[in-house]
Amino acid sequence: EVQLVQSGAEVKEPGQSLKISCSASGYIFNDYWIAWVRHVPGRGLQWMGMVYPDDSDTRYSPSFQGHVTISVDKSIHTAYLQWSSLEASDTAIYYCARRTVTTFRQSYMQFWGQGTLVTVSS
Amino acid sequence: QSVLTQPPSVSAAPGQKVAISCSGRSSNVGNNFVSWYQHLPGTAPRLVIYDNNKRPSGIPDRFSGSKSDTSATLDISGLQTGDEADYYCATWDSSLSADIFGGGTKLTVL
């Protein structure tokens, strides 16, 4: 059974750093991209970026490039999303998802983590 | 404002059918495959359609998808109150080199 288990909720102050995790099991970890998706309550889903565990190839949405860092530790089947300096606008629920690529034109996210609530407030 | 345009809301009575549209351009919908997600805020999104018109295991055949040129559609027939959720289309955008989501459509089953 494919499972993605995310780290717990976080409460931080503006300017602080944060790293949240997504631990995968039940499939060959190196063979699938892990994507990160943001949901701000009352707003839509936003794709942030993804990482390919086998070679750590990382891609970012232009909207998030430079503001977050996505990384992976394939030895422990875990992907990460981190911030060096949080802002109040980073308050959201963050989901990781396993991204399947059939061809370069065919991709989808079938398995999702349970979400990590990040609250940034002074 | 999302690159993929969806109606903010749709509604229909139980048992009826609803269609949710997703309009894009050649760099995304026009040349890449579309997936659809059902999302109840506070829970993980659920894949309901992938590769334009395929259903994952466990998704009832009341859900169907189609695509024509730069537009895609999610159809839900035999509506049930349990179908109430936000629905998002998504695809790869070759110009952005990123996945993108539509703005989302809130489905209300009256």
Tell me the pLDDT tens digit for each residue of A16-26: 999 999 999 99
- When pLDDT is averaged across residues A43-56 and rounded to a whole number, the result is 96
- When pLDDT is averaged across residues B94-109 and rounded to a whole number, the result is 95
Q: Please report the pLDDT score of residue B41 as a whole number.
A: 85
Local confidence band at B2 (pLDDT 50, 70, 90 cut-offs): confident
Position B77 pLDDT exceeds 80 = yes
Local confidence band at A110 (pLDDT 50, 70, 90 cut-offs): very high
How many whole angstroms separate alpha carbon B73 and alpha carbon A37? Answer: 22
User: What are the backbone angles phi and psi of residue B64, rounded to the nearest 5°?
Assistant: -145, 155
Coil, helix or strand at residue A88: helix
Position B36 pLDDT exceeds 90 = yes
Task: Measure B16 CA to nearest chain A CA, in Å.
Answer: 26
Q: Please report the pLDDT score of residue B83 as a whole number.
A: 97
Contact A50, A58 (CB under 8 A): yes
Coil, helix or strand at residue A17: coil
Q: Which chain B residues have a beta carbon less than 8 Å from that of A97?
A: 45
Contact A34, A27 (CB under 8 A): no
Q: Please report the pLDDT score of residue A105 as a whole number.
A: 86
Which of B41, B42, B47 lies at the smallest CB-CB distance from A109? B47
User: What are the backbone angles phi and psi of residue A91, rounded to the nearest 5°?
Assistant: -60, 120
Report yes or no: B3 at the A interface, CB cutoff 8 Å: no
Burial of B62 (0-12, 13-18, 19+ CB in 10 A): middle
How many whole angstroms separate alpha carbon A87 and alpha carbon A80? Answer: 18
Local confidence band at B48 (pLDDT 50, 70, 90 cut-offs): very high
